[in-house]
């Protein structure tokens, strides 16, 4: 029998269905692995061992009664940005250090209904703002492939947990690359579905027009399985799309024969790390060998402006969303001030970390009188231009392919002193959020022992094609099956 903690979902489900393993054994294996490696990796903020074993026993009872399900009894980890009833949800912030939500996020509820076992809540950049998980108010998570390097962010804990064998899959959230970038740097599969595919009810809000929940898995088959469970309309989220959820596994194995795949020039700039470029070119050759028609002459001219669009729109929305942390209703509250306003300013000054304050300040500035037209309104118009350029590309191509990140994982502390340098990590991922498209990161090999991710981007609500391309590529190599030495 293989290591239980490194099974895929489909392998685990088969073993459970044949009653060759119990959910309790799978869950105990994950908890043992957490005990063994998490002191080094630090992927988790909360481990819910007792609750997980109770959920496992409940799943075993359902299995014994003859019930079968793709996720029934399989251990998962949840990013600490999603509300879990009775389990602390800190968002990586001191502001929510003692916050225990009275309800489950819709995605969490959907997973629990499917019989998922939650082993714990994972570390993240505070309020999902960051690209390295170094902005966690608690501790940085480390990259399982090199403990001196970052796992990426903001969903770094969820990516590292899957890479390190601490959970069979996990959920993250992606506002500008926060699933795809850590998936790439940790060598796992990570996907941001189309904006509106997954309910945001119970997801602590960062930038509401960009935020989307998605999974981390060990292969693309598992990705389709988790998407099947979490996607779908939810009346509790008014921006949830009222559109049918297809079976994402249906077209997975159809290959890329005759498929038209574009590679935007702006995503392969001369400054791209040579090692990363080599891996992406090798992946393009592999897809071509599978029958795809590759065109490297695609252009998305406004890509250069995407970073500015993002760093106007996301902080603007954040400045409004995070106004709720006032020390009155819930969360950290400073009470020894000179009066109500002083208490509020002290609460926010002490409760938020540096990057969160920085972004609230940027957003407040961009929305303030005299700057609104030049920054916020202008950024929203450029957003339209960016979306139109993607739409024009998708009139010619079935999917676009690009690197996920400009480099492999960087060292802890290497970029934390320079906010703008950190923002540049997300240049290839944030246009996808701006345009509301689905995008995946699939392992594409290693450069000097560090993982590289291949990004596949699709038309709105065409996750099926994205998954199909990623699956076709994944089968040309076994990158996702490699394990870090821990």
Partner 1 sequence: MKLERDAVLHIAKLARIGLSEEEIETFSEQLSEIITHFDVLSTVDTEGVEPTAHTLPLRNVFADDVSRPSMPQDAVLALAPNTEDGYLRVRAVLE
| Residues acting as catalytic residues | 79, 154, 178
Site membership for partner 1, residue 319 (CB under 8 A): yes
Query: With 0-12 CB in 10 A as exposed, 13-18 as middle and 19+ as buried, what is 373?
Result: exposed
Min dist CB 345 to partner 1, Å, is 4
Residue whose CB is less far from partner 1, 67 or 304: 304
Contact call for residues 23 and 60 (beta carbons, < 8 A):
yes
Residue 177 token pair: 């690359």
For residues 101 and 477, what is the distance between their CA atoms, to the nearest angstrom? Answer: 42
Of 44, 169, 195, 410, the one binding partner 1 by CB under 8 A: 195
The strands making up 117-122's β-sheet, listed across from edge to edge, are: 44-47, 117-122, 75-79, 169-174, 212-217, 189-192, 439-447, 450-457, 399-403, 260-264, 293-298
Site membership for partner 1, residue 357 (CB under 8 A): yes
Site membership for partner 1, residue 289 (CB under 8 A): no
Residue with tokens 């400054």: 271
For residues 468 and 222, what is the distance between their CA atoms, to the nearest angstrom? Answer: 13
Min dist CB 370 to partner 1, Å, is 11
Contact string 404-443 vs partner 1 (x = CB under 8 A)? ---------------xx--x-----------xx-------
Min dist CB 427 to partner 1, Å, is 12
Helix extents (H) in 127-233: 156-163, 180-186, 220-230
Helix (H), strand (E) at residue 438:
none
Site membership for partner 1, residue 97 (CB under 8 A): no
Site membership for partner 1, residue 391 (CB under 8 A): no
Residue whose CB is less far from partner 1, 290 or 333: 333
Site membership for partner 1, residue 482 (CB under 8 A): no
For 251-279, give one letter per residue: b (16+ CB within 10 A) or e.
ebeebbeebebbbbebbbeeebeebbbeb
Min dist CB 261 to partner 1, Å, is 23
Residue whose CB is less far from partner 1, 226 or 356: 356
Site membership for partner 1, residue 344 (CB under 8 A): yes
Min dist CB 443 to partner 1, Å, is 28
Residue whose CB is less far from partner 1, 291 or 349: 349
Of 35, 250, 377, 481, the one binding partner 1 by CB under 8 A: 377
Site membership for partner 1, residue 311 (CB under 8 A): yes
Of 2, 258, 270, 339, the one binding partner 1 by CB under 8 A: 339
For residues 193 and 175, what is the distance between their CA atoms, to the nearest angstrom? Answer: 11
Site membership for partner 1, residue 346 (CB under 8 A): yes
Min dist CB 146 to partner 1, Å, is 28
Tell me how many residues contact partner 1 (CB under 8 A): 70
For residues 480 and 471, what is the distance between their CA atoms, to the nearest angstrom? Answer: 11
Site membership for partner 1, residue 330 (CB under 8 A): yes
Site membership for partner 1, residue 245 (CB under 8 A): no
Number of residues that this document lists for the chain? 486
Of 282, 326, 414, 477, the one binding partner 1 by CB under 8 A: 326
Of 180, 348, 415, 468, the one binding partner 1 by CB under 8 A: 348
Residue whose CB is less far from partner 1, 39 or 370: 370
- Candidates 42-50, 57-65, 336-344, 464-472: pick the segment binding partner 1 (CB under 8 A): 336-344
Site membership for partner 1, residue 271 (CB under 8 A): no
For residues 474 and 462, what is the distance between their CA atoms, to the nearest angstrom? Answer: 19
For residues 153 and 128, what is the distance between their CA atoms, to the nearest angstrom? Answer: 8
SS3 111: helix
Residue 90 token pair: 């800190």
Contacts of residue 130, defined as CB under 8 A and 6 or more positions apart, other chains included, come to: 153, 154, 355, 422
Site membership for partner 1, residue 385 (CB under 8 A): yes
Residue whose CB is less far from partner 1, 175 or 408: 175
- Candidates 57-65, 222-230, 280-288, 321-329: pick the segment binding partner 1 (CB under 8 A): 321-329
Please work out, in degrees rounded to the nearest 5, the angle formed at the alpha carbon of residue 164 by the alpha carbons of 159 and 166.
Answer: 90
For residues 241 and 225, what is the distance between their CA atoms, to the nearest angstrom? Answer: 20
Of 16, 241, 256, 287, the one binding partner 1 by CB under 8 A: 241
Min dist CB 247 to partner 1, Å, is 22
Residue 302 token pair: 């406004």
Site membership for partner 1, residue 88 (CB under 8 A): no
For residues 300 and 182, what is the distance between their CA atoms, to the nearest angstrom? Answer: 24
For residues 281 and 444, what is the distance between their CA atoms, to the nearest angstrom? Answer: 10
Contact call for residues 27 and 51 (beta carbons, < 8 A):
no
Site membership for partner 1, residue 196 (CB under 8 A): yes
Contact call for residues 451 and 437 (beta carbons, < 8 A):
no
Of 17, 36, 147, 308, the one binding partner 1 by CB under 8 A: 308
What is the contact surface with partner 1 in residues (CB under 8 A)? 99-100, 102-103, 195-196, 208-209, 235, 238-239, 241, 302, 304-305, 307-309, 311-312, 319, 323, 326-331, 333, 335, 339-346, 348-350, 352, 354, 357-358, 360-362, 364-366, 368, 374-375, 377-385, 387, 419-420, 423, 435-436, 460
């Amino acid at each position: 029998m293989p290591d239980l903690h490194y099974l895929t979902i489909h392998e685990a489900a088969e073993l459970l269905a044949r009653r060759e393993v119990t959910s309790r054994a799978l869950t105990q294996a994950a908890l043992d692995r957490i005990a063994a490696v998490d002191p080094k990796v630090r992927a988790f903020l909360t481990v819910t061992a007792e609750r997980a074993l109770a959920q496992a026993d409940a799943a075993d009872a359902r299995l014994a009664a003859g019930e079968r399900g793709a996720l029934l009894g399989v251990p998962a980890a949840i990013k600490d940005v999603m509300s879990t009833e009775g389990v602390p949800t800190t968002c990586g912030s001191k502001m929510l250090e003692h916050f225990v939500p009275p309800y489950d996020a819709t995605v969490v509820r959907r997973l629990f209904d499917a019989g998922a076992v939650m082993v714990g809540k994972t570390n993240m950049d505070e309020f999902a703002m960051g690209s390295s998980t170094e902005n966690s108010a608690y501790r940085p998570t480390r990259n399982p492939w090199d403990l001196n390097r970052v796992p990426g962010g903001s969903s770094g804990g969820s990516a590292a947990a899957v890479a390190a064998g601490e959970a069979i899959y996990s959920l993250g959230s992606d506002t500008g690359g926060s699933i795809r970038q850590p998936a790439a740097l940790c060598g796992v599969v990570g996907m941001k579905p189309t904006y509106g595919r997954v309910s945001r009810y119970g997801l602590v809000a960062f930038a509401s027009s960009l935020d989307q929940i998605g999974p981390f898995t060990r292969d693309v088959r598992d990705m389709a399985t988790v998407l099947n469970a979490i996607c779908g309309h939810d009346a509790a989220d008014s921006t949830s799309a009222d559109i049918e959820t297809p079976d994402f596994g249906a077209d997975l194995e159809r290959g890329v024969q005759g498929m038209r795949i574009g590679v935007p020039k702006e995503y392969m700039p001369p400054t791209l790390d040579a090692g990363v470029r080599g891996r992406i070119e090798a992946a393009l050759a592999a897809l071509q060998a599978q029958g795809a028609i590759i065109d490297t002459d695609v252009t998305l001219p406004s890509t250069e402006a995407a970073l500015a669009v993002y760093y106007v729109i996301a902080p603007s929305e954040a400045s409004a969303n995070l106004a709720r942390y006032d020390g009155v209703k819930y969360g950290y509250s400073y009470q020894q001030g000179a009066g109500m306003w002083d208490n509020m300013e002290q609460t926010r000054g002490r409760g938020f970390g540096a990057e969160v304050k920085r972004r609230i300040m940027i957003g407040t500035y961009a929305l303030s009188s005299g700057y609104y037209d030049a920054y916020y309104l202008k950024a929203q118009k450029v957003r339209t231009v960016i979306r139109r350029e993607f739409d024009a590309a998708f009139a010619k191509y079935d999917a676009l392919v690009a690197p996920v990140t400009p480099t492999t994982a960087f060292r802890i502390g290497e970029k934390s002193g320079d906010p703008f340098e950190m923002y540049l990590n997300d240049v290839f991922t944030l246009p996808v959020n701006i345009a509301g498209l689905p995008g995946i990161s699939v392992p594409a090999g290693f450069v000097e022992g560090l993982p590289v991710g291949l990004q596949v981007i699709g038309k709105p609500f065409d996750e099926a094609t994205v998954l199909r391309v990623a699956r076709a590529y994944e089968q040309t190599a076994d990158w996702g099956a490699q394990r870090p030495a821990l």
